[in-house]
């Protein structure tokens, strides 16, 4: 069964005080597909999820589960599992009974309940925790119990709203594959919401990048990283953040060049691909992984070394330029001294954006 979100709109309030939280979004999630809605705080992720769950009513548009239009159906008629950051386990029940509770309400026999719980606990690696009280578990273990409670119910749709935002980086990394295993096992459509692009990139079949109530791009994580449709997507996806410059594109004997201030760089494409933009202002985007530095300026943008952050396999190096601070991913052994450098650019990897629409051009 597929989940269809069609022209979904949710406006809070009216008149001058109205907030368009979700502005006509379309998204389909296939059976067994893991789709992540990723975007900054306040962009409309939770509102979208609440509309899919039936906890909020859209102002416009439809939600369909397969052929069934559920827009006007209450949550109980949707068989949706919803996991938040706050895990409300019943404190007076054992972990086992917490996980079995939904099945009890649904009328499963005690034997069936416990069999399903044992099975889920095995997958979640919490078999030895089943007789404990939730209060005796760590945050990560409690999140596993909450996952297990949803898993045994066999939901038709699985929704997550920033379930890991309270956990530290190590626990997050441990829990990610668990979430993937559990959702794989259920095999239903999964809509996962997060502001954390690393979480989105590592777990998802597709990511939907949301900004100000709209979806700017939907696609596989690699596709969205390699070929961002807009300046917003380029800046939101990828670490360290994409570096932007105001520039101009020029035709040099059929080859395109990009000018940043008084400095000119070759880019690996023909001038013909930038028809209509030659001589015009553009936004130039380059990932810090595709920037480099040379000692001495040598016709490049001059850069004064500020500091290095060695991360083991690479170093993030910070430079001051006339265009502001620039981050460059340098080699593991790079150690800047305070002399002058020149910024170099991988000509294959330069991204150009229309300064008015923010849409990538010349691809």
Q: Which chain residues interact with ligand ADP by CB under 6 A?
A: 12, 19, 21, 39, 41-47
Minimum CB separation from ligand ADP for residue 208, in Å?
A: 12
CB of 40 to ligand ADP, least distance (A): 7
Angle subtended at Cα 249 by Cα 248 and Cα 253, rounded to the nearest 5 degrees: 145
Between residues 199 and 354, which has the closer beta carbon with respect to Mg ion? 199
Counts of helices then strands in the chain (DSSP H, E): 8, 20
> Quick one: DSSP state of residue 305?
E
CB 48 within 8 A of CB 219: no
Distance of closest approach, residue 38 Cβ to Mg ion, in angstroms: 11
Please, what is the minimum distance in Å from the beta carbon of residue 85 to ligand ADP?
A: 11
Distances (CA, A) of 55 to 3, 44, 58, 130: 16, 14, 10, 31
Minimum Å gap between C-beta 18 and ligand ADP is 9
How many whole angstroms separate alpha carbon 246 and alpha carbon 44?
30
The backbone torsions φ and ψ at residue 313, rounded to the nearest 5 degrees and listed phi first, read: -80, -25
Question: Sign of the C-alpha dihedral, residues 237, 214, 83, 87?
Answer: positive
**CB of residue 86 vs Mg ion: minimum separation in angstroms?**
12
Nearer to ligand ADP by Cβ, of 16 and 348: the residue is 16
With respect to Mg ion, which residue has the nearer C-beta, 46 or 321? 46
CB of 45 to Mg ion, least distance (A): 5
| Category of 110 on φ-ψ map: left (φ > 0), alpha (ψ -120 to 50) or beta | alpha
**Quick one: 12 or 90, whose CB is closer to ligand ADP?**
12
Longest dimension (CA), the chain: 79
Q: Which is nearer to Mg ion, 46 or 129 (CB)?
A: 46
> Which does residue 200 bind out of ligand ADP, Mg ion, none, counting CB within 5 to 8 angstroms by kind?
none
The Cα 232–Cα 10 span in angstroms is 22
- Residue 21: name its binding partner from ligand ADP, Mg ion, none (Cβ under 5 to 8 Å by kind): ligand ADP
**Can you spell out the DSSP letters for 96-145?**
HHHHHHHHHHTT--HHHHHHHHHHHHHHHT-GGGTTS-GGGS-HHHHHHH
Q: Which is nearer to ligand ADP, 212 or 308 (CB)?
A: 212
Nearer to ligand ADP, 205 or 212 (CB): 212
Of the pair 51, 329, the CB lying nearest Mg ion is at 51
Q: Running DSSP on this structure, what letter comes out for residue 162? A: S
Phi, psi angles (nearest 5°) of residue 72: -100, 15
Closest-approach residue to Mg ion (CB): 46
Upstream peptide bond of 240 is cis (omega within 30 degrees of 0): yes
Instruction: State the minimum distance, in angstroms, from the CB of residue 64 to Mg ion.
Output: 23
Residue 314: partners with Cβ closer than 8 Å, 6 or more residues away: 329, 330, 331, 332
Q: In the complex, which residues of this chain contact Mg ion (CB under 5 A)? A: 46
């Amino acid at each position: 069964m597929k989940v269809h979100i069609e022209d979904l709109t949710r406006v809070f309030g009216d008149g001058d005080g109205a907030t368009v939280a979700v502005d006509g979004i379309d998204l389909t999630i296939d059976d067994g597909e893991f789709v992540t809605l990723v975007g900054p705080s306040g962009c409309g992720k939770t509102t979208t999820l609440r509309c899919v769950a039936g906890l909020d009513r859209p102002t416009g548009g439809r939600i369909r589960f397969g052929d069934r239009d559920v827009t006007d159906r209450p949550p109980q008629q949707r068989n949706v599992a919803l996991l938040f950051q706050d895990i409300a386990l019943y404190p007076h029940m054992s972990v086992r009974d917490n996980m079995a509770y939904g099945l009890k309400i649904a009328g499963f026999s005690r034997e069936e309940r416990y069999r399903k719980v044992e099975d889920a606990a095995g997958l979640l690696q919490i078999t030895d925790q089943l007789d404990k009280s939730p209060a005796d578990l760590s945050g990560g273990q409690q999140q596993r119990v909450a996952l297990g409670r949803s898993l045994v119910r066999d939901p038709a749709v699985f929704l997550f709203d920033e379930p890991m935002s309270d956990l530290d980086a190590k626990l997050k990394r441990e829990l990610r594959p668990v979430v993937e295993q559990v959702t794989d096992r259920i095999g239903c459509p999964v809509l996962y919401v997060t502001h954390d692009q690393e979480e989105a990139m590592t777990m998802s079949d597709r990511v939907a990048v949301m900004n100000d109530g709209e979806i700017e791009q939907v696609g596989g994580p690699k596709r969205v990283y390699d070929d961002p449709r807009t300046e917003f997507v380029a800046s939101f996806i990828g670490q360290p953040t994409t570096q932007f410059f105001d520039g101009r594109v020029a035709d040099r004997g059929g080859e395109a060049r990009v000018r940043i201030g008084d400095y000119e760089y070759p880019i690996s494409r023909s001038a013909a691909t930038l028809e209509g933009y030659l001589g015009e202002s553009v936004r130039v985007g380059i990932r810090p992984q595709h920037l480099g530095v040379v000692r001495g300026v040598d016709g490049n943008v001059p850069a004064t070394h500020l500091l290095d952050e060695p991360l083991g396999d690479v170093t993030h190096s910070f430079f001051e330029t006339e265009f502001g601070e620039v981050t460059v991913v340098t080699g593991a052994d790079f150690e800047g001294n305070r002399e002058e450098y020149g910024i170099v650019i991988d000509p294959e990897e330069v991204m150009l954006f229309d300064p008015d629409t923010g849409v990538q051009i010349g691809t």
